[in-house]
Amino acid sequence: MENFPAVVLGTATGSGVGPFLGTWYLSGTETFTHCVGDAASASATDPFSGAFTWTAGGAGLTAAGGCTFDEVVSGTTATLAAPLSCGGPISGGGEETTAFETFTWVLGADGTTATISQTGTQQFTSGGGGMGTCQVAFALTATRE
């Protein structure tokens, strides 16, 4: 079970994206539950931290590793426009794919903080041929640089 890279770059388009632009520092937890297969005993809550940068223009919010989060901004909330799947290699020679179902950013009143929630299903294969699936949920806070 892998975290996003430490630095994620992205773009957002449309009116009202201005308050979301910039570099955000994230911290919180990622929780894996309802694990089956070789991950049956892997249910856990792990710390998560990283940086996320949004810039104006482009085709949406693009994360390293090929994930493109197309966000819809309404007021102080940005939500995932449609579910998506992406993934890639993980340590040990395996592969992981995460199907993101929700991804929501809510700006704080001061505009320099946000709360983020994200849910999905993560599937993986290990370098040794094992397979597993878990539900994953992120509960994060963010502070803009």
The domain locations on the chain are: 7-144
How would residue 114 be classed by pLDDT, with cut points 50, 70 and 90?
very high
Look-up of token digits 């994206």? 17
* CATH label, 7-144, candidates 2.40.50, 2.60.40, 2.40.128, 3.30.310: 2.40.128
pLDDT tens string 2-42: 344 333 444 455 567 788 888 889 899 989 998 888 777 77
SS3 51: strand
Question: Are 81 and 70 in contact, with CB atoms under 8 Å apart?
Answer: yes
- Both tokens of residue 69? 């989060």
For 17-48, the DSSP string reads: -GGG-EEEEEEEEEEEEEEEETTTT--EEEEE
122 vs 40 pLDDT, higher one: 122
**What average pLDDT score do residues 128-140 get?**
89
In this structure, of 17-31, 38-52, 86-100, the range with the lowest mean pLDDT score is: 38-52
